[in-house]
Amino acid sequence: MLSGLGLMTPWEIVVAVVEVAIIAYLVYRLLLLVRGTRSVQLLNGLVVLLCATLVSQRLNLLAISWILEKLLVMLVVALPVVFQPELRRALEQLGRGRLVSRLFRAGPARGGSRLAVHVARAAAALSRSRTGAIIVLERQTGLQDVADTGVRLDAVVSPELLVTLFSPRSPLHDGAAVVRGDRVVAAGCFLPLAEAVEVDPDLGSRHRAALGVTEHSDAAAVVVSEETGAVSLAHAARLERGLDERSLCQRLYQLLGAPEEGPGPQQPEGGGPGGRADG
């Protein structure tokens, strides 16, 4: 190997080192992508099958070796189907890369500061009344497929509207509200549940749904617990729990690309709109 390196020019050595570094980084990102999901068990099974094939070939077990080789051929065809969620997530993350974002993103979300204040104020009102809610804020990745599962609204965002949507008497309170820009595009939407196996077992279906939509997109999801009234923020398949109105507003400022200086969240007079706990 060293003799082979001696025959290479300095430029070829640099290219080889860069190529190895790129491959190592891609493998590292792949491992991060599947960590904590059901794909880990699938990969473990694939490794066991490969090891069994090598052992059967070394021991000259012709029949077993032939069967395992056919299984490997079938798996090559089935892998794109089995790992479809991970492949989709990888392509979405590639499309959300900094270079692509700079080429295709026009700028920060319109009315990001006002949207952050409205959502934080609504979450605080819902928290005081312990009314369960999920508010999904669309960013770069489109959520039209999620919005299509609910009822189309196309209404201007306001704290009163969001609180009304999740009132127990509202027919749309069980689903999620999808917000795009400064408008609520749909309500009563169904979200995919989280696929990660490391989800806290104490989390309910709302929190799992919030984590699920952030696994497949760059959206931010605000969750209000019906049992405790606690406010959480899901982003990038991670959950920030126990946020108050001010801290939630600041985090939304950052995620929506809004300026850090802006109108701070204000407490609505008389305790603000709200409703009793979800039934």
The domain containing residue 169 runs over which residues?
112-261
The domain total for the chain is 2
Interatomic CA distance for residues 121 and 162, integer angstroms: 10
pLDDT classification of 263: cutoffs 50, 70, 90: very low
Please tell me whether residues 121 and 254 are part of one structural domain: yes
Please tell me whether residues 123 and 78 are part of one structural domain: no
Please tell me whether residues 159 and 231 are part of one structural domain: yes
Interatomic CA distance for residues 108 and 217, integer angstroms: 17
Please tell me whether residues 129 and 195 are part of one structural domain: yes
Phi, psi of 274 (to 5 degrees): -175, -175
Check residue 256 and give its pLDDT.
Answer: 83
Please tell me whether residues 213 and 131 are part of one structural domain: yes
Please tell me whether residues 120 and 42 are part of one structural domain: no
The residue type of 143 is: L
User: Could you give the dihedral angle defined by the CA atoms of residues 9, 14, 16 and 21, in that order, rounded to the nearest 10 degrees?
Assistant: 170
Please tell me whether residues 94 and 144 are part of one structural domain: no
Please tell me whether residues 93 and 123 are part of one structural domain: no
Q: In sequence order, which residues have a C-beta less than 8 Å from that of residue 227 and are 6 or more positions away?
A: 130, 204
Q: For 84-118, what is each residue's pLDDT tens digit?
A: 666 666 666 666 554 444 444 444 444 568 899 99
Please tell me whether residues 251 and 163 are part of one structural domain: yes
State what percent of residues in the chain have pLDDT above 90.
29
In a domain? residue 151: yes
The residue type of 156 is: V
Triad 136, 137, 139: Cα angle to 5°: 135
Check residue 36 and give its pLDDT.
Answer: 56
In a domain? residue 184: yes
> Six-digit token pair at 163?
């609180």
In a domain? residue 270: no
Please tell me whether residues 64 and 149 are part of one structural domain: no
pLDDT classification of 121: cutoffs 50, 70, 90: very high
In a domain? residue 216: yes
Interatomic CA distance for residues 184 and 240, integer angstroms: 23
Please tell me whether residues 152 and 94 are part of one structural domain: no
For tokens 């190529």, the residue is 19
CATH number of the domain within which 186 lies: 3.40.1700.10
pLDDT classification of 220: cutoffs 50, 70, 90: very high
Question: 25-33, long-range: CB within 8 Å, 24+ apart, which pairs?
Answer: 30/90, 33/86, 33/89, 33/90, 33/93
Q: For 71-80, what is each residue's pLDDT tens digit?
A: 888 877 777 7
The residue type of 140 is: Q
Q: What is the mean pLDDT of the chain?
A: 78
Contact 132, 278 (CB under 8 A): yes
Please tell me whether residues 125 and 219 are part of one structural domain: yes
Instruction: Quote the pTM value.
Output: 0.62
